[in-house]
């Protein structure tokens, strides 16, 4: 594997999920692979899970890590070609990416969308600039539109907990107080569409995901109908794709125990961080059906599988 930007970089999704399980079973079995190799982690936005689990994954493979909170600790980066840089942005991404690439063997980048201009966000300018100018493999640690490390984790978690071979998985839009990216949900749909599981996406009218990512999923505007008979409920808020970046006011879309009772004793999943009693009730979060902690814990093994796949091709 050269880069890990989306599911399209995974040569074989089930094999990559199996590799993540292999890393979990034997975390230190490949310590020699990353010896004297450096992973540079660049954060343009906050992170708890991605930051710690990716560092841990690299350490398990014998790598050194350098972490930078770019927007706080470095120069503001210009991304436009031909820009006259007489404003607040002191460095062009062309130089920044090339210089950081010269210090590191693999780069990982987190860069969220602005949620104002859909066309601009969906161009993935920051991520693509690091691919183009760093000269090194790049891992997407959540970009404007996708979060593939999260999705690989999600598939590993579903594989561990599934009780039937073909599970019904419901990705449900949930309420939130501020506009959030579509990245986790786009990516989750894209990855589940590479499995044999049934995917149903529940979203209020106007909050449907891009059809490019929803793919073959059934899309329903009725949450109760969607939840009927589900084996997994994945709750996530996202802002509107159609009315780009706008939020919707549907507090009744919260996942509570009454909704979970519509399912086949479904497991509850969320990528975290989650706002309790806005997105999901305490009762669900604190129940035995909630597997969000196991899910977050699996982030290490997903990142380790991806790093392993990149390192073995370096």
Residues near ligand CP (CB under 6 A): 47-50, 142, 150, 271-273
Judged by beta carbon, residue 101 or residue 148, the one nearer ligand CP is: 148
Judged by beta carbon, residue 206 or residue 273, the one nearer ligand CP is: 273
User: Rounded to whole angstroms, how far apart are CA atoms 204 and 276?
Assistant: 20
CB of 270 to ligand CP, least distance (A): 9
Who's near 193: CB < 8 A, 6+ residues apart?
A: 199, 215, 216, 217
Judged by beta carbon, residue 133 or residue 191, the one nearer ligand CP is: 191
Q: Decide if 186 contacts 234 (C-beta within 8 A).
A: no
User: Rounded to whole angstroms, how far apart are CA atoms 184 and 192?
Assistant: 12
Longest dimension (CA), the chain: 60
CB of 246 to ligand CP, least distance (A): 22
> Residue 64 pairs with which residues in a beta bridge?
38
> What does the block give as tokens for 292?
């969000």
Judged by beta carbon, residue 158 or residue 220, the one nearer ligand CP is: 158
For residue 196, what is the enclosing H or E element? none
| Complete DSSP assignment for 156-178 | HHHHHH-SSSS-EEEEEE---SS
Judged by beta carbon, residue 264 or residue 297, the one nearer ligand CP is: 297
CB of 302 to ligand CP, least distance (A): 11
CB of 229 to ligand CP, least distance (A): 27
CB of 21 to ligand CP, least distance (A): 20
Q: What are phi and psi of 201, to 5 degrees?
A: -110, 120
Judged by beta carbon, residue 150 or residue 157, the one nearer ligand CP is: 150
CB of 43 to ligand CP, least distance (A): 9
3-class SS of residue 251: helix
Rg (CA), the chain: 19
User: Rounded to whole angstroms, how far apart are CA atoms 244 and 224?
Assistant: 26
**Minimal CB distance residue for ligand CP:** 50
């Amino acid at each position: 594997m050269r880069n890990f930007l989306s599911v399209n970089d995974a040569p074989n999704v089930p094999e990559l999920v199996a590799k993540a399980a292999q890393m979990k079973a034997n975390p230190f079995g490949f310590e020699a692979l990353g010896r004297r190799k450096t992973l540079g982690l660049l954060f343009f936005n906050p992170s708890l899970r991605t930051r710690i689990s990716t560092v841990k994954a690299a350490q398990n493979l014998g790598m050194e890590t350098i972490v930078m909170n770019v927007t706080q600790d470095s120069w503001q980066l210009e991304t436009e070609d031909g820009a006259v840089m007489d404003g607040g942005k002191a460095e062009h991404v062309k130089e920044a990416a090339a210089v950081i690439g010269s210090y590191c063997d693999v780069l990982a980048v987190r860069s969220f969308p602005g949620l104002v201009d859909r066309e601009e966000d969906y161009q993935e300018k920051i991520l693509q600039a690091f691919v183009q100018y760093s000269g090194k493999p790049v891992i997407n640690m959540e970009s404007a539109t996708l979060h593939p490390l999260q999705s690989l984790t999600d598939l590993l978690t579903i594989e561990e907990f599934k009780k039937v071979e073909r599970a019904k998985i419901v990705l449900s839009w949930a309420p939130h107080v501020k506009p959030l990216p579509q990245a986790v949900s786009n990516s989750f749909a894209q990855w589940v569409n590479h499995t044999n599981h049934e995917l149903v996406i529940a979203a209020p009218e106007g909050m449907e995901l891009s059809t490019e990512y929803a793919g073959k999923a059934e899309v329903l505007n009725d949450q109760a109908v969607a939840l009927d008979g589900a084996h997994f409920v994945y709750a996530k808020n996202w802002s509107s794709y159609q009315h780009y970046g706008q939020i919707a006011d549907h507090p009744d879309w919260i996942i509570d125990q009454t909704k979970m009772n519509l399912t086949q004793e479904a497991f509850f999943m969320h990528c975290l961080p989650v706002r309790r009693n806005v997105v999901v009730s305490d009762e669900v979060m604190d129940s035995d059906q909630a597997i969000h902690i196991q899910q977050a814990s699996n982030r290490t093994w997903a990142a380790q599988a991806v790093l392993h796949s990149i390192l073995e091709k370096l």
